[in-house]
Structure 1
């Protein structure tokens, strides 16, 4: 009886203003309705303290971390908190069998020990500006979609160049919103000297690994710590031993007060992409094309990688980062397709489209322009269905498959005439691929993916190498792959060196791997060309569809789809019931870690270091415990997030840091397409657990002293 009362109370709390909780809002365009909704949920700070283009505000503490994650600045000396999985690649690059920072963690005891990461940068947003009128002025109704895109790209480049001409340390980016109906300029400043300061061992930062990924309850200490460096004038600078810690205009304060059921929670970060306005035809294509290709192909590739990673430590270190990146979106695709079916997302979208169709027919101005909009979408998606699906499998099987092909494509795209800095960076990227490559594993992957692609697509989409395999190798994929790797010069750094030194005795185009790369590009181009006409019409119709939906529901408060620009989402800390008879609390504790260790005995993904277990058993959590003396590890809110939000700051009503967002939940994996307020949850690691690990486990109290703790 008590459980039912608790669940009822949770639904009452979480259903208050559920529409307000949905949305990834532009900070520079927070309307009165959105600001009021935030206040009603408990926000205690004015909007100009969150975002201001003229004075220091909360947004100045939030960064895009490497262009693929988010982070938050927490000290006056440029310390940045982000997720462990966001820093994973950097941690892996510094790891060796002798110094295994992935397994053992890393602590810089002083600033001279902080490790540089030449390819890593952080990006600060300075301001945003609506440039829609200026951009659309460059277009007219007589243009087809390709011409319109070209005109928009040209004016966008012009606007961006104006920013950097005024200040060479600034970057201007014009992004499309609402399906290409609006355009905003974002002005950024990038810092390229970012150093690793602290990383917990993977047994903390990746506790549960693939099994727990996208799941709640969660017990993962998914965080790492970096520091931003600048020149002596506090300006951006490339790495140099002479650089000094960056002093930001705003530092996010840290709260040790925690949260309760229904507490206001606000997330600031850089969500990657959502498709909330996509038509049902586009959703169906995504399910059967890109998502299914990712599920099938990555499943094959990752099984080979994981087997070898479990056998050898050197392979585990080499392949850890690429496995982590690959498996994350593989499991995401599995969950997304499952959730779309279970939550009847397509059916709901089609109901809305039926309403839209009726509205168009009943509205004279709309009827004249859009009478055949939905029919056109249906026809053109159907026209490109087969080619689009083949292209998805092609991309996963070959472009994103064997690393030999990836190397061949990197070499073919190498620009000797580029800026020296870019040439060096590109060269380093290629060399790093060699360092993390095992040829025997790559050959096995290539052989397996040849078979997988052949089974999944019609014969007319097989590239020329399949004819070679059938005629010269009697259909033996392995014999073909073995010969290819044996004959290619670019399987080793020696061949790469001959290429870069422009050895006149080495004709790179005649190398069999390079020739294969050229064939792959031709096949990729052919499939895209087959879809060109349909794709242009789809792009136009989806833009018109997006605008029509907003006009039909003109009284609603619309937010644009995520597009890797800074967004704010807000809601409450909130438990949920994923299915009948189940109730998930809004936080987890170390007790859950012990329980998972017991339930997964012998599984290395759930191993915990004896030292951490000792600290848990001692129960000396100090000021990081709650009022009951308990340590909270992770918590959930109904904030609206997606990929790219990893590492996003989760703030309380006063703009104080509660933790870092690092995941969504399995039951709402269709969230990129539709928001489900009763199910969707944002999983965060509690900042108090982070500080406990840093101070007690890592013995790095000096880092904690840098923070502004409330």
Structure 2
């Protein structure tokens, strides 16, 4: 009966909240009437069908951190430049710097293999709620249940993977079947200064002038075991017709950052304070890195991927707090909690008293957790953000737990590539001084002053073997006694012991209780129809909305025009005074982390844009969507084509695209 009530409440509430929600695409039947009302001309089967070709066959997860889409029948993949950046950096050298020049493979033989990258293409979704719930009632562990179901439902063929996801905090369980494609090659990226115009200063901001896109190609094996371009069941058409204010659009991808069950207590007492503390530490870390990067091209090449990722995370956390406060999200969350209580009372639901107790208990537990959360935040962001100490911790924990030394060597090799002793020593002094000034108790007793920090820095970076790659290799050799005696390992283990004793031993049980209560409350929200879509968890989702006012053309930016001239990019800009060029635009589609690289489609299912960012003030949409402020930022498909047409090596790539004039 409760499930019937949930479905009914979903349908009744859709029209009032048409633009909110990251909807599982296999459940798009629920929102299809609204999509049609807003202008969608595709049939339901064209949008989603497991037994025939549909839009869902053109969208894939890009590794574990983003989305992408197929745009040709030869496995050509479109995603964001910022998702491609680590591979661009990997193949760049001082002499062949693809960050500076961009990259375009003039033929398939010139494409660059991206080791470790893979795509996940959803092929089927099966509701297994009944089976999971029955087995749970029989006392069988959840992990065993999901493992058995996945094993039974996953075909025994190469490249198939089955996963079970919980929706609405255990209200529903779904088995997802994916095809894994693990031969992915880089085809095209624009120059960094074009793709990331304005660099991190403009991240999460509007207006924007970014060409944040990249092309890859997916390969599979033929009957003879030879690598051939993957042939997707569906690929998207490029539209050159553009968009206008109020036009219907939808965004499809694999978001994983938005919650439909966040509470006011957790947000006010834990989310906001934690993000404030971490932002302060991140800003200082970025300042140190930028100081060195601006003075040395080799260091810039070494640090650019880490710097971009850290800056992105910092500004996102900053936006969540500032936007959340500015837009009164705590009050809105309280209103949602009150609305849920009213709904329960009106139905005389037996859950009413239990729900009220859960809210009060969650508030009390959140208050208790604050005193332990702050030192843990300063430890994980301040102390563990220091390369030497992070390396020391990884080595110590791996050897202590007797994990594989082979995997350890691989991890350390990646860490060593971004390690610079001079930068790291400066960061050590700056971060620990900030922690000391804040009075946060996460440092050893031997550090009481700035002088102590300087002395420790001198000893650590002159005496530790972890500043030398060859000595690290010697240290992790079997039966080597060096690890136990290294000064950096002794230093980090003393801090780790302090955090475990005084912080995590209390915080961990509190966090478990808070998590359980949050899930129970989210379940109740869903039951009463207060929330209509399950929290994003990396499954294929659809959101929809309209093109926002006055944002579909961008007035020429003088510096960008100079860059276009420098890179011989032919645009429609003839003067600085009265011409405009389609570059980026906004919509009110609900998006979140993981929607990077999501295709943006018009009412006919044609690609009109590529999602790459959000406005900072609307980042609080991760826990309280507000149609008036939440905006996602997209690259116009016409700008993508403009850059491609300006590259002398792109003809074979352009010939693959199906371009709708």
Fold match (TM-score > 0.5): yes
Check the 8 A contact 2:564/2:570 in 1, yes or no. Answer: no
What residue is the counterpart of 2:36 in the other structure?
39
What residue is the counterpart of 2:488 in the other structure?
513
Q: 1:343 to 1:629 in 2, by over 3 A?
A: closer
Q: How many residues align?
A: 643
Give the unaligned 5+ runs of structure 1. Answer: 1-15, 144-149, 236-241, 576-584, 599-606, 621-627
Could you report, residue by residue, the CA deviation over 1:190-243 in whole angstroms, capped at 9, with x for unpaired residues?
2222111111011110001122111122110110111112222498xxxxxx52
Determine which of 67, 76, 79 is the counterpart of 2:76.
79
Determine which of 610, 625, 636 is the counterpart of 2:565.
610
Q: 1:18 to 1:311 in 2, by over 3 A?
A: farther
Shift of 1:510: 2.5
Check the 8 A contact 1:572/1:638 in 2, yes or no. Answer: yes
What residue is the counterpart of 2:17 in the other structure?
19
Give the unaligned 5+ runs of structure 2. Answer: 1-13
Check the 8 A contact 2:569/2:646 in 1, yes or no. Answer: no
Q: Structure 1 CA distance, aligned partners of 2:417 and 2:553? A: 39
Could you report, residue by residue, the CA deviation over 1:347-367 in whole angstroms, capped at 9, with x for unpaired residues?
122233334445556635124
Q: Structure 2 CA distance, aligned partners of 1:634 and 1:515? A: 51
Shift of 1:687: 1.3
Higher alpha-carbon deviation: 410-419 or 560-569? 410-419
What residue is the counterpart of 1:488 in the other structure?
464
Equivalent position SS for 2:124:
strand
Higher alpha-carbon deviation: 191-200 or 159-168? 159-168
Check the 8 A contact 1:361/1:371 in 2, yes or no. Answer: no
Shift of 1:517: 4.2
Could you report, residue by residue, the CA deviation over 1:549-572 in whole angstroms, capped at 9, with x for unpaired residues?
23333xx67011111111011112
Q: Structure 2 CA distance, aligned partners of 1:210 and 1:346? A: 29
TM-score calculated relative to the size of structure 1: 0.84
Determine which of 619, 634, 649 is the counterpart of 1:669.
619
What residue is the counterpart of 2:175 in the other structure?
185
Determine which of 382, 393, 396 is the counterpart of 2:378.
393
Q: Structure 1 CA distance, aligned partners of 2:187 and 2:598? A: 19
What residue is the counterpart of 2:103 in the other structure?
106
Could you report, residue by residue, the CA deviation over 1:623-647 in whole angstroms, capped at 9, with x for unpaired residues?
xxxxx99631111111110111011
Higher alpha-carbon deviation: 200-209 or 276-285? 276-285
Could you report, residue by residue, the CA deviation over 1:657-678 in whole angstroms, capped at 9, with x for unpaired residues?
1121001113312111111112
Alignment pair present for 1:653 and 2:603: yes
Q: 1:282 to 1:505 in 2, by over 3 A?
A: closer
Shift of 1:521: 4.3
Q: 1:491 to 1:163 in 2, by over 3 A?
A: farther
Higher alpha-carbon deviation: 106-115 or 697-706? 697-706
Check the 8 A contact 1:52/1:127 in 2, yes or no. Answer: no
Q: 1:704 to 1:97 in 2, by over 3 A?
A: same
Q: Structure 2 CA distance, aligned partners of 1:423 and 1:652? A: 51
Q: Structure 1 CA distance, aligned partners of 2:20 and 2:494? A: 46
Determine which of 230, 238, 243 is the counterpart of 1:259.
243
Check the 8 A contact 1:587/1:635 in 2, yes or no. Answer: yes
Higher alpha-carbon deviation: 406-415 or 120-129? 406-415
Equivalent position SS for 2:136:
coil
Q: Structure 2 CA distance, aligned partners of 1:453 and 1:189? A: 46
TM-score calculated relative to the size of structure 2: 0.90
Determine which of 314, 321, 324 is the counterpart of 1:340.
324
Q: Structure 1 CA distance, aligned partners of 2:407 and 2:508? A: 33
What residue is the counterpart of 1:433 in the other structure?
415
What residue is the counterpart of 1:272 in the other structure?
256
Shift of 1:18: 6.5
Alignment pair present for 1:66 and 2:51: no
Check the 8 A contact 2:543/2:590 in 1, yes or no. Answer: yes
Q: 1:430 to 1:121 in 2, by over 3 A?
A: farther
Check the 8 A contact 1:634/1:685 in 2, yes or no. Answer: yes
Check the 8 A contact 2:396/2:483 in 1, yes or no. Answer: no
Shift of 1:416: 12
